[in-house]
Every structure is written in C-alpha cells, then in structure tokens.
Structure 1
C-alpha cells in the first residue's frame, strides 16, 4: 500500500494519512471514511512515510480518476491562502471548491461544447423564405462558417430547436466548439486616453505587471478592459474577470456576451445553481472556458492558461469575505497574477486607499482616464444642500422636492439615493421612549410596512408589527427615520404623475427582477428610481440626469476609521450615475456637515485630493496602509465570557508566548455589533509595521486559542487578517 496525505474539510490544522494500492496524482479528488461517514478529500501529497501505526491507516474508499486533478498552481494558491489567513488548509481547500466537488460522489464531466456547420447536403438546400427573417439570418450565419449555440441564440431565440431539426434532416454537422472563437470588431472606438491605457497593459503581457486604472465615472474603463481582453483571448490565453456583486451588474454581463459571443464563458458566483457552477468550474479547469466572470469566489478557479486578471470596482468591500476563510479576493487576485506571470488591472473611479498608496509608491503602475467616454457627456454638477436649519418632509428639503418636480416636468429621469432599506429604521413609542430592538442582536428592528413586519437586517429575525408598546401600553407607535419604502411613499404624493420604482433587496429578490427593471428603464417607463447601494454600482441609465442623496452624513459618525473613505466612494459612485449621455447631470447632496473634507472633495470631484489627505491622516495615526492589522474575535453566550476568554490568552502570553516588540495589542473590547444572532462578541486587535512580526504574533495567538478551546467549548473564535470591518 502507498500512503497519501489528504486534505479534508475539518477544522483541524493537519492532513490525514490514507492508503491506496497505487500512487495517486496530487490534486486527485477521492472519497474516504471519516468518523463514521464517507467524505470527500483531496490528495495533497503522495508516497509519504507513515507517521502512525500502519494498522491504523484506513484505505481510500473511492478515487474519482475520471476528473482531472487540481494542478500544482491551484494547490499553491490554497496553501498560501490558508497560511496567510491562518485558516485550516483542509477547510480552505473545500471553501474554494464548488458544491458538487465538496461531496463524496463522482461529478459528470461537462459536455463538450458544440458548433454547427452546413453539411454537404445542407449546402444544396434552399435558404428559408425572406419573410422568415430570423430563420434566414440564422441560415446566412451558417453559410459564413461554424456557428456556436450561444451565437445562434443571439440571432434567433428558437435556434436550439431549429438547429436540432436541421441536424435531423442531415443539413448540419456538429463539431467540437473551441474555447477561443472569432473576435468580432468592437463597436466602440477608444479615445486617446483609453488607447494609451490599453496599449500599456498589452505591452506588459507575458509577465507580471500590476496596473491601477483610475477612471472617473463614465470614462469607459470597461471598454479598456475589453480591448485588452480581446488581445489576450486571441492569443489563446484565459482571462479572469472579477466583479463585486454579479447580480448587480447585468448590463456588464450582457456587454461581455455581446463583445465576446464566440468565446466560451464561465459565470461563477454564489447565486448560481450548484450544478451549473460546478460544470462551469470544470469547464474553466479543463480549458473549455476561456473567460471566467465571477465574484470573489471565482478567484479560486483553476486556470492553466491564465493570461490576464481584471478586478472591476476594486475598492468594493464585497471582495472581502467576512466569514470562514476571511480572504480578500483583490489581494489574492494580485498573488495569482504574479504566480501566472501575467498583468492584472485593478479598476475604479474611487480606488481603495491601499491600492492608491501602492500606485503612489510605484508598486502599481497608475493609468488615468480623466474624461467621460461619451462625446457629449461631462461630469455632473454637484451641489451641497445645508439642511441644518431646514424643516424636512420625510427627509426631503423643499429644494430637493422642487428639483424632482422640475426634472420630471422636463422629461428627465431622477434617482433618490438612501442607504437604508425598510419603511423606517425604527419603531418608537412617543410616550415612554421604547424602541424595538432585535432580541438576538444589538441592533434596532426595521419597519417593513408592506410586509407588516419588524425585521432585523443582521440575523433576519422577524415579528409582526406590535399594536401596543410592551412597556406602557401606548397604541400610538411612531416610525422614526427614512427608509426606502417611506421615501417611495413620499415621492408618489409629491409627484402623482411620475412612475416611481423602488430598488432594494426586497424589491429585486427574484432572479428576473433586474432584467425586467432594465427593460422598463430602456422603454422610458421609469421616472424616479429610489434605491440603496444596489443603485450605486455599475449601472448606466442614459436618461438619468438628476441624483438626490438623502441622509449623507450617517456613516461619518461611525467609529470605523474607514468610514470617510467608504462614504466618499459611495457618493462619488452614485453621483457618477448622472449625466452619462447627452443630458447634463445634476447631483444634490443633503448634509448637515457641508464643510467636512469628504463633502468638499466630493463637490470638487477630486479623488486624488481626498485620497492624499486621508492617507496623510492615516500615516500620522499609524493606520493601514501604513500598518498591518489583524483582529482576534470571540463570541459567547455572554459578553463577560467572550472578554474573559480573550483576557485569559493575553495573560498566558507572559508564560513564554511574548509577542514581538513591534506589535501592539489592544483590547479585548466589544465589537461594534456587540450582539449578533444571540451571541455576544468581543475582539482584540494586533497592529504593527512589520508584516512578518504580525503573522508570527497571530501564530502564537492561534496556538493558545487551540489550546484553550478544549476547556471553553461555549466559545467560538476566529482570526481576521487585514480586516475591513473594525
């Protein structure tokens, strides 16, 4: 028997030894017995020496040898991720796999993609009648050469049935479809800035080169991506394209499919059906898919011919995983590009300060797009409305309502932006002051009027709207604050003839909701959009020429040092939705802090001014990116238990586990969201200027956490390296 070390999906810092009669290739997926059941595992090392009694080594139950092994580069990526984020290797491996490959059963290989060509018999057939225009167009496309099914469906929605019928009649032959198909010419002509950016990246192909593409909103960053991608795909290489949230950018996906209709594309994200995601993952691994488009999870896709990585909206916090393996996909994407010796393009109108700092210091090459791509489009005019002494109508100033009414009368389209869901943030008793908090979290319940519910937006606890105050019995309960449902209601009263549409996670829960919304907007059937962060990302509405921002100041009161950066990015992104076509754009931002540096930089639409000032402030305070941070977190039934557990480990450090002098340790303190889902949460911060010393310190903490968890079973702990949620 030959011994193999396997990675299993268990929370232990070890590989497990199993036996098999033959040496299995590393990266092979297998099934093994483990604690009374059969589980999936991955061969990590083969032909190893037995470190335990050979009589105790169990045999591998099944080998899925029809599946291609996961290659050495993929395993090196997971080895690095597990080490850097201080997470068990086996769990990291299985977090990176799609659901189908996590299960202890074989997975059918994806069917080979087919294209269709006219047979000898088909070449002699008469074309369809002229009045069957789409059938004729499909037939004419076949006369030009091989046609893939996606390309055929783009010509005629009934293409699958027609192609099957013509194949049965002997008019068509099916052939294997290449992953890299013909590249149609781009319908867009790049301007000088776009050409310079594209050519700079293309010139770097063949080696590792990180680029930060800083382009103002509407500057045409996507067309720069596409121009570079076209060259890389034409050279037979694969492209990894990462998006922050794939369900928020249907326009971009449609543009990808239009620009590369003959290129096999895999779409990978957590909302995809498990089977479809597994099949697309295998297509990418085998090379059947040349282009991979996905969210942060797609960074782990095995790609043997990787030639380019693109991270769009690289500043977005969605690239950071906030549970289990707490990885930052943007950073892993840079590591992958270096591993594959290929360029990576990080694009944003408001880059993360970490990326901007690296560009300023030459670690990344900065590429700039300073004007809008549409010849008639200009940056919108941003006006700050000081509402400190104004009486507001459900959050609206008189100036805001007048602008909305005027724009509607002139045929324009408006957006009202509010970063809150629900009818109102809280339900309040005016007699005794009682507010309705979540019984499981340290957060207020949000009133959802249409559903007649109070909901917690953290743990999703729900209850019917109470009829009376539980403290004093008052029946006159008041909604305080302004959520999207209340704003929508106010607008319907102020603009009785306008088509007002609310866009948030409640109104776009179904898969087809976004497509239907775009159809309505394209048809001119929407006058006012009311929405949350979902409207700030990646959308291009030609008619939109007025944006109104309510409650802009809220996040500035946060204890998180990243709050100004996030607010500036959020407001710049949402302001950038206005005036992207012929109509000039206007943005009105209601604020009680008009002199704040964030709003002054926003008014000037000057990202470098904001970023450089914020970086100077962080440097003076020793905050990232001038320091490296990790958070050690514990949650327990009570706060005292969580704090005591962390304090126990700090006290134990005096017994030979002393941290390096370059590392500062703060806490334990309650987390900002101190109670979540019925558990109390506390944390300790480790901070220092030397990354190596920080990781050494985390390693010491991890040893002690493992040691004491056996005697504190009510405690759950986690480690977050480079946390974004402080």
Structure 2
C-alpha cells in the first residue's frame, strides 16, 4: 500500500492522504471517499509506503484511467492560482474541471470516452485513391444528389475538365453534412467503405453548440495592411515567452491578425495547440465561425458555462487529449488542460468579465500571461481600449506594444455630444432627444440601421408613488425592484425576488404609481411610438434567456431584418454590423460619478466599443451608401454619396474629460490623464490591493468578525508596510437578506502583500469564525 497526497473536489485548505495498492502518476484523476460521499480528486504526489500510523487512512475508491493524467504544468498552474488568489486548491480544481467529470464514476467516464471515440471514427469520411476511379464509375448521369455527395468528398466533376483520377483538396466530409446532401448517404458511405473507396477518419472534436456542422470550405485570408503585417511578423518571429499588447481601433482587423498568428503556430508543429479567450459567451459563435472557416480541417473545442455539462466534458477532453488544436472559450478556458500549448490570445483584454466575481476569484487575463511565461510561448492581449494596467505595462516596456491605427474598411464614426440640459425633449423627461430623433429618421430613410445603447435592462429602475414617496424596494436587498412591463412584475436583479406590480400604493393606497428612470424595455416602447414604421428589436439579458436566442437576434440584425436595435452592453462589443451607421448612448453619465476608481475607464471603453459598431461596411470609406437622385459622375451615371457614420452621446456633462477624449477617439490622452490621477491617489496600477469580503445574516456577528480581522491584521500589516482600511459596507450592503462588508488592504509591493495575506488567512482560519469570508486579490468590484 502507498500513501497518496490528493486534492479533493471540496473547498478544503488541506491536501488529504489516501492509500492505494500502487503509486499513481501525479495528475491522475481518482474517486475518493470524503465523509459519506464519494468525490473526485487529483493525485498530487506519493508520500511513500504506508506505515502503521497510516492504517486509519481511507483507500482510493477508483482510478479514472480512461483519461491521461493531467500534466505537471497544469498542476503548477493550479498551485500558483490557489496560492496567489488565496483560495483552496480543491476549489480551483472544481472551477477548472468539468462538473460532469467530477461527479461521474470511472466506468461512466470510460463509457463516454469510448462512445465519443466511436462517433468520431465514423463521423467523417475521406476519399481514397481507389475511390477516385470507382466513384466516378458509380455516378448515375443526371443524379444531382449523388454528384453533390461525391463532389463534397473531393471528386472533381467531369464538366470541369478534370481527368478521371482528379480530386480536389477538401476536408473530411462529416456524416451529418453528407446526410444533408443525399438522403441515403449513410448507406452509400457504408458500402463505399467496404469497397475501399472511402475511409473513416476522425472528425473535428467539437462543434459550435447551436450549429452541428462546420463550414465545408476554407475562407481565404484577407490582404493585410502594413500595420497588420507588422503585428503578425512581430508575434511570429518571437522566441519563447513574449507578451504583446495589440492596440487597434475598432474595426482595424485584430481578428485577422489573430487568425494569421494562429495559422503560424499550427503550421510550426502538427501537435501544437492554441488557446483563444473571449470575454462573453455570446461572442464565441462568430469567432468560432471565423476559426472554422479559416481552419476547416482543425478540431475546435469550445469551453464556456453555456454548454451542457456532458457537452462541456467532451470539449474539455478533446483539449486535454490534444485532439482539439484550437481551444476557444471564456474565462474558465484559462484553466483548461492543454498539454501542447504554443500560443495564447486574449481578445478584448480590458473586459471586466475576465475577473471571476464569485467563488475562486481569479483573473483569466492575468493567468493567461502567467501561463504563457510558464510555457515559454507568446501571449497577445488585444483591445481598442486596453485596461490601464496593461497600457501601463506596455509603456514601461513589460509588454511590447503593437498598434493598428486605422480601420481595415470604412472609417471611424464621428462622435457628437448632445447636451441633455439644452434639449427640450430630454428636459421634460423624454428618452430620445430631438437631435437623435432627426438622426434616426435620416438613417431610416436611407435604409440603414441604428443601434441604441443603455446599460440598464427592464422597463424602469423603480416604481414610485408621487403622493407618499413609496418606492418599490426589494425586501431582501438594499436595492430597488425593477419594473418589467412585459409581464407586469417587479424583479430584483441581485437576489432574483419577483412579485406582481401592486394595484395601488402599499402605503397610502394611491392608484397613481409611476415608473422612475429608464431601462431597455422603456426605450423600446418609446421607439415604437416615435418610429411606428421601423422594425425594432431589443437584445438584453431578459430577451435572450433561451438557448440560441442571442445568436438568432444578432442574425436578424446582420441579415437586415432590424432597423433599430436597442440593448445593453452585450450589443456593443465584438459584432461586425455592416449596415449600422448610427450608434447612440442614452444618458451614460452614471459612470462618471461612482465610488469605483475604474468607473471612468469602464465608461470610456463601453462608449468607444459601442461607437466601433458603426461605419464598418467594406468598400467606400464611411458607412453604407445608397444612390441619391440628382447626383451623377462626369459620365452621367448615378453616384453613391458617402454618408459618414456617427456616434451620438446624450449627456448632461459634455465638457467632461471622458467625453472630450472620446470625441477625438483619443485613448492615449484619456489613459495618460487617468494614470496621472491614479498615481496621485496611489491606486492600481501604482499599488496592489486585496479585499477581505465578509457576510452574515446578523449584522452584529459580522461586525464582531471584522473587528477581530482588523486586530489580527494590524501588526503584520505594519511590519509589511501595508495600509489596512477600516471595515466599510459593500456597494450593495445587503443581498438576499445577507449583510456584506469588506476590509481593503493596500501596498506598493506585491510580494509584501502576498506574504501578509498568507499569514492573515492562516490567523483567520484559526479563529474558526462562523462568518462567511473570502480574500479577493486584485479586486475590480467593490
């Protein structure tokens, strides 16, 4: 018997010991008893032969030998993340491994792996040399379906002048795609396989969740501009660990740069893998499509929380086994097992979604950089509005700055600031000002599309009684219940509480309840009244709850079935709208007056990203153009005037620095001014922070714990040269009946902060407080 150190799937700080009949390779997946349950675990190392003192140790229940062990680099990644972010190793393991894998027996895992391999073996077919002649003889004249099937396999039609043995270079034909070409494709392929005309080959390991087939033919690459070519060359020529910040204006062709460097990484070695991170689930389908079109013969694995548990396991296994050479996903993909990783790309690296806000609070962007250093490979962080931490690192030379200063097609939209205090419609409570209405009418008359952005869903943030002042407050949170007009409910966007709209004021009985503020539903209603002839669509978290709803909604916009699109920030990034020539931000001023030091930075990024959706049409500079009567070229033919794209911002503070730099598309000036203020205030990136987050249903219990935590921190913090601030309530002090406060720790040395946090955490664990608490390193939300 051998004693094994095992990290179990539980939020335990200690690694547990178990016995087994033989030593297991570190990284082996196992099932072990924990209390009355059997949970998953990962072998870290062997402690040696069992002794008499270890006779009380429990034995490993079973070994999951259908999967190869997790690599030493993956174990090092998890150890680093657990140490740096002050989280239990088992908790990080739970975030990194699919839930289906952690909860299934070894036999169930083996059965699914075998079934998946069997499906892959019969899922695609490739033409053999013998089939070049045999299939041509089998083609029945004028049988269109049979001709389509053989053509998809790579047999050149005779009418193209092909010789009897000529084939075309095509990827393997998936069985699902073959069935769409011929109703009896399965039987035909089975017979042709028996005759040796075709052979089964592994199909791509993963598919887009809502599209079971990948594009049949590769899309040729675009011609690169000089700046794009320079960026591609810099990354492809890099040796070892090389961090790059790809700073390109919206529409400058960053995705094409990604595709070129992916192609270079895959061509260097037939076994290498590439990791591509994107901030949100709804951004994965268009990027997955681009990757599949460019690399039709490569396997693509998708990793995000929108997948079903078993489906996510299939994609994770394809990445872990090396079958999938391209792995695309959201922040959880940063923790995936990739044994042959050669390149990492982080798209929209500034996006706050890369920081996990619950459980294991890790930053996927920062882990991607650490992982690239660990493996000695390039990492590319791309954005039109880089995070100030990344921009500062590039200015100091820690990252190499690559710039794409011009759009690949079209031109940047003109930004106009509409003074809300001078617009009579807005002063009287209107949602769409006179100037914006006129701009929308002009676009509708030309058959162009408009996009209106407001970062609040629902109809109105709160219902109000004008007689007594009653407000629709959540009974469980320090927040208002948001009025949703579609189903006449009041909902809390924090705890999920829902209640019907009262017929009268609960306090005074008044029937005159009024919505206060505005949300996407109210804007949509106003647009329907103002532009009854327009086709209006709304995309927000409420309208896309069903699986595939977001993709369906965006497809309608791309196909021209929508004239005006209104939504939250999910419509403002990553989408290539070719017909949008007008984008408007409705009263975004709340971002200017927030306690969060990152408020202006996030507002700048949101509006700049929103502006980038306009004027992306290829061809003439500017946006879409249409012929206009009375204009002609010198030869008398009708000419198409250029209609410049616009970004309109309805604001009460047009003189603010954020809006003035936005107006000039001048990220450099904005970043320079913000960094000066951050330096003066001693805020990141000029300092390092951590939060002790604590919560409890009883405020007196919570306050007693925070007093104890402050006392425990005093001496170590002073010795490390750190500042410990007094406890303060969170920005939302009560959620679902639970009171929340935090303690901020700040210092100029990352190493000193880490040493202090480790000591403080140990002292807090020894106190055995009944308060729920966690340490959040490099916090982005307060």
TM-score (norm. length: structure 2): 0.88
Find out whether 1:701 has 2:711 as its counterpart: no
Give the conservation status (yes or no) of the 8 Å contact 1:141–1:147.
Answer: no
The match for 2:188 is 165
Q: Work out the CA distance in 2 between the residues paired with 1:306 and 1:590.
A: 46
The match for 2:772 is 716
The match for 1:688 is 747
The match for 1:240 is 275
Q: Work out the CA distance in 2 between the residues paired with 1:218 and 1:485.
A: 29
Give the conservation status (yes or no) of the 8 Å contact 1:153–1:159.
Answer: no
Q: Work out the CA distance in 1 between the residues paired with 2:762 and 2:261.
A: 46
Find out whether 1:547 has 2:580 as its counterpart: no
- Superposed CA deviations along residues 330-385 of structure 1, whole A, max 9, x for unmatched, are 000001111111100000000000000000000000000000001xx011000001
1:229 to 254, 262, 267: 262
Change (3 A) 1:5 1:224: same
In the TM superposition, residue 185 of structure 1 has moved relative to its aligned partner by: 6.7
- Superposed CA deviations along residues 570-615 of structure 1, whole A, max 9, x for unmatched, are 0000011011114231111010111111000100100111011101
- Superposed CA deviations along residues 228-248 of structure 1, whole A, max 9, x for unmatched, are 000111222110000001223
1:188 to 222, 244, 249: 222
Secondary structure, in 3 states, of the residue corresponding to 2:416? Answer: strand
TM-score (norm. length: structure 1): 0.95
Find out whether 1:363 has 2:398 as its counterpart: yes
Change (3 A) 1:92 1:157: same
Secondary structure, in 3 states, of the residue corresponding to 2:94? Answer: helix
Q: Work out the CA distance in 1 between the residues paired with 2:217 and 2:338.
A: 21
In the TM superposition, residue 619 of structure 1 has moved relative to its aligned partner by: 0.5
The match for 1:628 is 688
In the TM superposition, residue 160 of structure 1 has moved relative to its aligned partner by: 9.7
Secondary structure, in 3 states, of the residue corresponding to 1:53? Answer: helix
Change (3 A) 1:503 1:2: same
Q: Work out the CA distance in 2 between the residues paired with 1:503 and 1:281.
A: 30
In the TM superposition, residue 48 of structure 1 has moved relative to its aligned partner by: 3.4
In the TM superposition, residue 149 of structure 1 has moved relative to its aligned partner by: 4.2
The match for 2:240 is 207
Change (3 A) 1:213 1:153: farther
Secondary structure, in 3 states, of the residue corresponding to 1:214? Answer: strand
Q: Which moved more, 1:18-27 or 1:5-14?
A: 5-14
1:637 to 693, 697, 709: 697
2:201 to 175, 178, 198: 175
1:454-473 aligned within 5 A: 454-473=490-509
The match for 1:100 is 100
Q: Work out the CA distance in 2 between the residues paired with 1:154 and 1:561.
A: 52
- Superposed CA deviations along residues 115-171 of structure 1, whole A, max 9, x for unmatched, are 422353673133364644743531445943674245x76788457962553223544
Give the conservation status (yes or no) of the 8 Å contact 2:695–2:772.
Answer: yes
Q: Work out the CA distance in 2 between the residues paired with 1:207 and 1:307.
A: 10
Secondary structure, in 3 states, of the residue corresponding to 1:239? Answer: strand
Find out whether 1:417 has 2:477 as its counterpart: no
Give the conservation status (yes or no) of the 8 Å contact 2:152–2:173.
Answer: no
Q: Work out the CA distance in 2 between the residues paired with 1:691 and 1:493.
A: 55
- Superposed CA deviations along residues 244-300 of structure 1, whole A, max 9, x for unmatched, are 012234322211111111110100101111111111111111111100000000011
Give the conservation status (yes or no) of the 8 Å contact 1:250–1:514.
Answer: no
Q: Work out the CA distance in 1 between the residues paired with 2:48 and 2:182.
A: 54
Give the conservation status (yes or no) of the 8 Å contact 1:394–1:487.
Answer: no
Change (3 A) 1:156 1:117: same
1:478-517 aligned within 5 A: 478-517=514-553
1:31-50 aligned within 5 A: 31-48=31-48
Find out whether 1:475 has 2:511 as its counterpart: yes
Q: Work out the CA distance in 2 between the residues paired with 1:178 and 1:578.
A: 35
- Superposed CA deviations along residues 501-555 of structure 1, whole A, max 9, x for unmatched, are 0111111122222332243223321100001111111011111000111011012
The match for 1:70 is 70
The match for 1:399 is 435
Change (3 A) 1:441 1:159: farther
The match for 2:83 is 83
The match for 2:125 is 116
Give the conservation status (yes or no) of the 8 Å contact 1:548–1:589.
Answer: yes
Secondary structure, in 3 states, of the residue corresponding to 2:725? Answer: strand
Find out whether 1:380 has 2:404 as its counterpart: no
Give the conservation status (yes or no) of the 8 Å contact 1:417–1:549.
Answer: yes
Give the conservation status (yes or no) of the 8 Å contact 1:130–1:136.
Answer: no
1:204-603 aligned within 5 A: 204=238, 206-235=239-268, 236=270, 237-374=272-409, 377-391=410-424, 392=426, 394-581=430-617, 582=620, 583=623, 584-603=644-663
The match for 1:27 is 27
The match for 2:671 is 611
Secondary structure, in 3 states, of the residue corresponding to 1:337? Answer: helix
Change (3 A) 1:519 1:39: closer
Change (3 A) 1:118 1:649: closer
Q: Which moved more, 1:55-64 or 1:596-605?
A: 55-64
- Superposed CA deviations along residues 424-455 of structure 1, whole A, max 9, x for unmatched, are 11111111111111111111111100111111
Give the conservation status (yes or no) of the 8 Å contact 2:372–2:378.
Answer: yes
Change (3 A) 1:502 1:658: closer
Q: Work out the CA distance in 2 between the residues paired with 1:280 and 1:641.
A: 45
Q: Work out the CA distance in 2 between the residues paired with 1:619 and 1:231.
A: 40
In the TM superposition, residue 94 of structure 1 has moved relative to its aligned partner by: 2.0
Change (3 A) 1:220 1:694: same
2:706 to 646, 649, 667: 646
The match for 2:638 is none
Change (3 A) 1:18 1:256: same
The match for 1:127 is 139
Secondary structure, in 3 states, of the residue corresponding to 2:694? Answer: strand
Q: Work out the CA distance in 2 between the residues paired with 1:675 and 1:267.
A: 36
1:139-158 aligned within 5 A: 139-140=153-154, 143-144=167-168, 147-149=171-173, 157-158=180-181
Q: Work out the CA distance in 2 between the residues paired with 1:154 and 1:600.
A: 52
Secondary structure, in 3 states, of the residue corresponding to 2:18? Answer: strand
Secondary structure, in 3 states, of the residue corresponding to 2:552? Answer: helix
In the TM superposition, residue 699 of structure 1 has moved relative to its aligned partner by: 1.6
Instruction: Give unmatched runs, 5+ long, in structure 2.
Output: 157-166, 207-213, 624-643
Q: Work out the CA distance in 1 between the residues paired with 2:15 and 2:252.
A: 49
Give the conservation status (yes or no) of the 8 Å contact 1:326–1:721.
Answer: yes
Change (3 A) 1:601 1:658: closer
For the aligned residue pairs, the C-alpha RMSD in angstroms reads: 2.2
